[in-house]
A and B are shown apart, each in its own frame.
Chain A
């Protein structure tokens, strides 16, 4: 198997590292904070994320965090910084587990406890991560085709339910609310801090092109997010959307092709479960490699088992309600891990620039 991935795959990997959350989790949070200003919050988040992504990609200059930290800080400090980076990613992984459990509870209503679903998804992660970056890239290829096809099948009928009367008030009611609503989406749309880990997998390609591919991936995800928020505003109205954890599910459930087929969300739910499992696998791959680089001990398989098991156990056993899960996500990822990861990459980029080892 070729160990390299193409620019297209790099772009799609970055997209899939963001998109599942963008589709399901972020719209509800944005409406909750911003109400009728959700669309403006989404646009502001996309613009803010664009600036962050450009800064992060300038800092990395086509190098993965592993190489960047080593160049910037030397061996020992570089490994410590790598360890902090891995911890940040692991925090994000717990949040993704939480997203998965929350959504599965809201949509599929399984009878099995979360830890059992966790074990099942753990198996998925082991299979997906064992293929390395090329395996994940191929899986992403497949799911992207599926996502586009199913996305069209789901979104086109939903568009028929858009009511212009819902787009009120068209001017934002409160700038403060927009700012509040924009923060969390910005931390997700700015996840080039994750995608940069795949930069080394596209060896043989110009570093500038690699960075551009990552940027394009984030840009597409931001576009999808703004589009979804607009669609939900038109279908549900800002007030109703703000009262739902997963407004997209409600919008899709509004689609009734006939009395016979009343649960149209059956088309969307499997796709999203698959996408979030892929996202989890992408992040887990990065975490496993980061930890291995930091500690220089153990095989990928061992770390996959340990980290997958640990994060899954924390997420499935450590929270008792959806509210707790969402609060954890905001506190750890939005206000903790994401800013730290951005700072790590920016400072490392500057350090390498001052030391004269920056490729740029």
Chain B
């Protein structure tokens, strides 16, 4: 066994010992405050941002106190005025602290966790216990509109990386005493707060139970973002069965619909379950337009879904297997432009799709102006050069570009990714079997799609199983008083 392996083993054993001590409650805080402060600092590994303020309390009997907290995680004003000042002025009871909630601490692991949660812990000679006081004020960004989900009309606030702030934003919209908020701590290494939010009486109990059980049983080592929880909640490998939202108004609307919101601390993305295909095809902006315009936008989006997935396949099929199905003048024009192209239609289309996908990804990764430059260079200059060089034909480029544009109509990023995969999957079927291949490909997708569910709700509902009137807020956007909206399990 090499030395590195020994170090790793030693580290793992230390962690195990600490966990066992905590579980068996053997890490009791020492009665001597100095010694207890030392225990806490040691447990945390003497980090440089740990502040250990020692106070000599001038009361009737002189006492000695320790106040410990992380330097950047607490509000300076809160800590000094609410915690330290009363004792400097001679007070000696825990109740003399003037801020936050107090929590009694008896064990070292409790004190360490309180400090990691950005609380201040205070111990004084003569006290039976240490106390944790909530003076958290961790660094966070300002509230602003999510850049990837902007609306012309409607609220412009967005979630940030703090669940308490996010909950507060949500409460400003849903001021109901029936709003239920359940918190759980998830992740062995990260101890992340996961918050389950729903409206009592509006959300089906089965959906709440499903979400609660999934979170409780989730064996996860660390949680750094809500996307990890989505995977751990057991969604399908390919198809998104949860919806992400960074908008309080969208989450509030989902709660009113009878869905459950899952907030994860340090993530601005709130998960919404159940998430049906129709939910993923919905944008908050739909509801801020007049119904006719909103309905048209939504229909356009579904058409976009079909175009983005199927248009390149139809193009390949029409050029290779079923030329008689497209109008003769269009066929002749297309064939004439392709005479000098060295690749068959399927290779040409797939190559163009790959290039456009690469340009899109590069544009997303590159920051701001550079991303735009990459996109313009990739699409305009490269496309123009490729046509002039006779490597790709103009109809292929037009087809691929229309498919890409249609893909941008899909509001959910995960669903947009699935569309891309379906598109690549249908092209070989079209090249081999023609229109029969495209239809059969769709039948396979639908056959598998109807079996999917999200939190017990069929994924393709309310279209499959069809619910009378389900199209009113699916394909169209009919005003609320003309439709019923509640989601129920299958």
Interface residues of A in 249-302 (CB under 8 A from B): 260-263, 266, 269-270, 273-274, 277-278, 281
The answer to whether B324 and A263 touch across the interface, beta carbons within 8 angstroms, is yes
Q: Give every chain B residue within 8 A of A9 (Cβ-Cβ).
A: 465
The answer to whether A145 and B463 touch across the interface, beta carbons within 8 angstroms, is yes
B406 contacts the other chain (Cβ, under 8 Å)? no
Within 8 Å by CB of B322, from A109, A278, A281, lies A109
Q: Give every chain A residue within 8 A of B489 (Cβ-Cβ).
A: 2
The answer to whether A110 and B429 touch across the interface, beta carbons within 8 angstroms, is no
B453 contacts the other chain (Cβ, under 8 Å)? yes
Bound complex: CA A117 to CA B433 (Å): 7
The answer to whether A281 and B447 touch across the interface, beta carbons within 8 angstroms, is yes
B303 contacts the other chain (Cβ, under 8 Å)? no
Q: Which residue of B lies closest to A6 (CB)?
A: B465
The answer to whether B465 and A110 touch across the interface, beta carbons within 8 angstroms, is no
B237 to chain A, nearest CB (A): 16
Q: Give every chain A residue within 8 A of B158 (Cβ-Cβ).
A: none
A261 to chain B, nearest CB (A): 6
Within 8 Å by CB of A142, from B438, B446, B490, lies B446
The answer to whether B451 and A123 touch across the interface, beta carbons within 8 angstroms, is no
The answer to whether B433 and A112 touch across the interface, beta carbons within 8 angstroms, is yes
A54 contacts the other chain (Cβ, under 8 Å)? no
The answer to whether A104 and B436 touch across the interface, beta carbons within 8 angstroms, is yes
Interface residues of A in 78-129 (CB under 8 A from B): 104, 108-112, 116-117, 120-121, 123-124, 127-128
B165 to chain A, nearest CB (A): 38
Bound complex: CA A142 to CA B444 (Å): 13
A281 to chain B, nearest CB (A): 7
The answer to whether A116 and B329 touch across the interface, beta carbons within 8 angstroms, is no
The answer to whether A120 and B450 touch across the interface, beta carbons within 8 angstroms, is no
B432 contacts the other chain (Cβ, under 8 Å)? yes
Interface residues of B in 423-471 (CB under 8 A from A): 429, 432-440, 442-444, 446-448, 450-451, 453, 458, 460, 463-466
Q: Which residue of A lies closest to B330 (CB)?
A: A260
Q: Give every chain B residue within 8 A of A130 (Cβ-Cβ).
A: 447-448, 451
A238 to chain B, nearest CB (A): 28
B147 contacts the other chain (Cβ, under 8 Å)? no
Summarize A's interface: helix, strand, loop or mixed.
Answer: helix
Bound complex: CA A266 to CA B463 (Å): 25
Bound complex: CA A41 to CA B15 (Å): 84
Q: Give every chain A residue within 8 A of B321 (Cβ-Cβ).
A: 108, 110-111
Q: Give the number of residues in B that approach A within 8 Å (Cβ atoms).
A: 36
Within 8 Å by CB of B453, from A1, A262, A278, lies A1
Within 8 Å by CB of B451, from A6, A121, A135, lies A135
Within 8 Å by CB of A121, from B322, B440, B448, B453, lies B440
Bound complex: CA A124 to CA B447 (Å): 7
Bound complex: CA A1 to CA B465 (Å): 11
A139 contacts the other chain (Cβ, under 8 Å)? yes
Q: Which residue of A lies closest to B429 (CB)?
A: A120
Q: Which residue of B lies closest to A272 (CB)?
A: B439
Bound complex: CA A117 to CA B442 (Å): 15
Q: Give every chain A residue within 8 A of B330 (Cβ-Cβ).
A: 260
Q: Give every chain A residue within 8 A of B437 (Cβ-Cβ).
A: 120
Q: Give every chain B residue within 8 A of A144 (Cβ-Cβ).
A: 466
Q: Which residue of B lies closest to A274 (CB)?
A: B439
A260 to chain B, nearest CB (A): 5
Interface residues of A in 39-69 (CB under 8 A from B): none
Q: Give every chain B residue within 8 A of A124 (Cβ-Cβ).
A: 440, 443-444, 447
The answer to whether A108 and B443 touch across the interface, beta carbons within 8 angstroms, is no
The answer to whether B448 and A127 touch across the interface, beta carbons within 8 angstroms, is yes
A114 to chain B, nearest CB (A): 11
B409 to chain A, nearest CB (A): 21
Given contacts A108-B322, A262-B328, A263-B324, contact A142 B450 (CB under 8 A): yes
Q: Which residue of B lies closest to A263 (CB)?
A: B325
Q: Which residue of A lies closest to B448 (CB)?
A: A127
The answer to whether B466 and A145 touch across the interface, beta carbons within 8 angstroms, is yes
B367 contacts the other chain (Cβ, under 8 Å)? no
A309 contacts the other chain (Cβ, under 8 Å)? no
Q: Give every chain A residue within 8 A of B458 (Cβ-Cβ).
A: 1, 138
B327 contacts the other chain (Cβ, under 8 Å)? yes
Bound complex: CA A160 to CA B483 (Å): 36
A110 to chain B, nearest CB (A): 5
Q: Give every chain A residue within 8 A of B463 (Cβ-Cβ).
A: 141-142, 145
B322 to chain A, nearest CB (A): 6
Within 8 Å by CB of B440, from A120, A139, A266, lies A120
Given contacts A1-B490, A141-B463, A263-B324, contact A131 B435 (CB under 8 A): no
Bound complex: CA A1 to CA B460 (Å): 12
A344 contacts the other chain (Cβ, under 8 Å)? no
Q: Give every chain A residue within 8 A of B439 (Cβ-Cβ).
A: 270, 273-274, 277
The answer to whether B450 and A135 touch across the interface, beta carbons within 8 angstroms, is yes
The answer to whether B443 and A128 touch across the interface, beta carbons within 8 angstroms, is yes
Q: Which residue of B lies closest to A130 (CB)?
A: B451
A189 contacts the other chain (Cβ, under 8 Å)? no
Given contacts A112-B433, A141-B466, A266-B325, contact A277 B451 (CB under 8 A): no
Q: Give every chain B residue within 8 A of A138 (Cβ-Cβ).
A: 450, 458, 460, 464-465
Q: Give every chain B residue within 8 A of A123 (Cβ-Cβ).
A: 440, 444
Interface residues of B in 5-45 (CB under 8 A from A): none
Q: Give every chain B residue within 8 A of A112 (Cβ-Cβ).
A: 432-433
Q: Give every chain B residue within 8 A of A8 (Cβ-Cβ).
A: 466
Q: Give every chain B residue within 8 A of A2 (Cβ-Cβ).
A: 489-490
Interface string of B364-399 (1 = CB under 8 A from A): 000000000000000000000000000000000000
**21 sample A-B contacts, Cβ–Cβ < 8 Å, listed by A number:** A9-B465, A108-B322, A111-B321, A120-B433, A124-B447, A131-B450, A134-B490, A135-B451, A139-B446, A142-B446, A142-B450, A142-B460, A142-B464, A262-B328, A263-B324, A263-B325, A266-B435, A270-B438, A273-B440, A274-B443, A278-B443
Task: Show the binding face of A for B, using Cβ within 8 Å.
Answer: 1-2, 6, 8-9, 104, 108-112, 116-117, 120-121, 123-124, 127-128, 130-131, 134-135, 137-139, 141-142, 144-145, 260-263, 266, 269-270, 273-274, 277-278, 281
